[in-house]
């Protein structure tokens, strides 16, 4: 396992991040704990969860599993989604964040969170209130670093600008959906991250399981995440002509090297310049071990380029116009 600096910080994180969204739901506590310990034993140190995952159960399982190994872990969680029935049980008000961090700390059985992330942009709370509250949390020691997730480029830049102008804590990372199937972040977010030195820790790096190769064109799945997924993870969203073309390209690579489709898809991300640490999940111990097999090797330049080409977004204005003036 290799390590990378997370954004504009001195924090080193493993090249893979273990996502805990399945813990307490698809994966029972015993197997979740085994995954966490195997991940740490194999050199991983970066674990991501959220207060809303399985009603807080994911945080509780993670906290219990790392209790005796807390110093080894870069622990990340999130705040924003609704956690109760009352009007102030969601969002980024000072009240919600202060309540949320204390609730997460209790479930995680720790006195600090390494990376506290804003889960989705909040259209109600002024970013000034949010950033100042997060700055207070860092000053208090409850939080070490902050990040965001699912932000548009202008939203992240607005927050970074406010932090810089007022000399307050700034985001060191963003957690967007990004994979061979979903490269929308190439348009503005990834260039911004490169310019501002913000780490990128993608979720759904194998397209919600689509890139595992277990799904076939024209056959609606009856099991697995895509069988009952909604929104981004729905079969309707994933099963289009371009995605099957990308999957075919991934499978062609697997026929030439001794790796699985999921390992190829993850390795492509591991070797993309702007990506810091893809967040992988697992619904079984076998799936966990398979995903861990994506490290310790590297796709050939030809294979990487072929996958990059087949998954690349079409040229759009103003990018294609501005390319003419690049020096």
Annotated catalytic residues are 53
3-state helix, strand, coil in the chain (%, to 5): 45, 15, 40
Smallest CA-to-CA distance from 78 within 36, 102, 48, 33 is with: 48
Q: Are 211 and 261 in contact (CB under 8 A)?
A: yes
Q: Are 260 and 268 in contact (CB under 8 A)?
A: no
| Cis bond upstream, residue 258 (ω within 30) | no
Show the tokens assigned to 45. Answer: 């140190």
> SS3 of 89, please?
coil
What residues are paired with 175 via a beta bridge?
Answer: 149
DSSP character string of 166-206: TT---EEEEE-B-SSS--GGGTTHHHHHHHHT-EE--B-TT
In whole angstroms, what is the distance from residue 146 CA to residue 166 CA?
Answer: 16
Opening angle at CA 316, ends 314 and 317, nearest 5: 175
> How many Cβ atoms sit within 10 Å of the Cβ of residue 178?
26
The alpha carbon of residue 121 and the mean position of all alpha carbons in its chain are separated, in whole angstroms, by 16
Q: Is 315 exposed, middle or buried (0-12, 13-18, 19+ CB in 10 A)?
A: exposed
In whole angstroms, what is the distance from residue 218 CA to residue 212 CA?
Answer: 16
From first CA to last CA, the distance across the chain in angstroms is 37
């Amino acid at each position: 396992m290799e390590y990378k600096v997370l954004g504009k910080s001195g924090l080193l994180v493993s090249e893979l991040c273990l996502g805990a969204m399945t813990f307490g739901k698809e994966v029972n506590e015993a197997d979740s704990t085994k995954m966490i310990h195997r991940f740490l034993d194999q050199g991983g140190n970066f674990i991501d969860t959220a207060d809303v995952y399985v009603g807080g159960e994911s945080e509780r399982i993670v906290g219990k599993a790392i209790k005796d190994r807390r110093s080894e872990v870069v622990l990340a969680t999130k705040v924003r989604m609704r956690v109760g029935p009352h009007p102030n049980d969601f969002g980024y008000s000072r009240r919600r964040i202060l309540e949320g961090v204390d609730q997460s700390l209790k479930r995680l059985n720790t006195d600090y969170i390494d990376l506290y992330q804003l889960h989705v942009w909040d259209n109600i709370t002024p970013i000034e209130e949010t950033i100042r509250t997060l700055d207070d949390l860092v000053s208090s020691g409850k939080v070490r670093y902050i990040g965001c997730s699912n932000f548009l480029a202008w939203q992240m830049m607005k927050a970074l600008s406010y932090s810089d102008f007022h000399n307050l804590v700034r985001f060191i990372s963003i957690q967007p959906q990004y994979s061979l199937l979903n490269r929308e972040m190439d348009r503005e977010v990834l260039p911004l991250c490169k310019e501002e030195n913000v780490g990128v820790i993608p979720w759904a790096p194998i397209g919600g399981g689509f890139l595992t190769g277990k799904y076939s064109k024209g056959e609606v799945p009856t099991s697995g995440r895509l069988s009952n997924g909604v929104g981004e993870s729905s079969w309707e969203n994933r099963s289009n002509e371009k995605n099957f073309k990308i999957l075919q390209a991934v499978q062609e690579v697997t026929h030439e090297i001794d790796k699985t489709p999921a390992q190829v898809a993850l390795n492509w991300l591991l070797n993309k310049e702007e990506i810091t640490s893809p967040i992988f999940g697992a619904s079984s111990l076998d799936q966990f071990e398979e995903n861990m097999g994506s490290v310790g090797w590297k796709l050939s330049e030809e294979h990487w380029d072929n996958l990059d080409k087949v998954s690349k977004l079409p040229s759009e204005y103003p990018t294609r116009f501005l390319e003419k003036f690049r020096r």
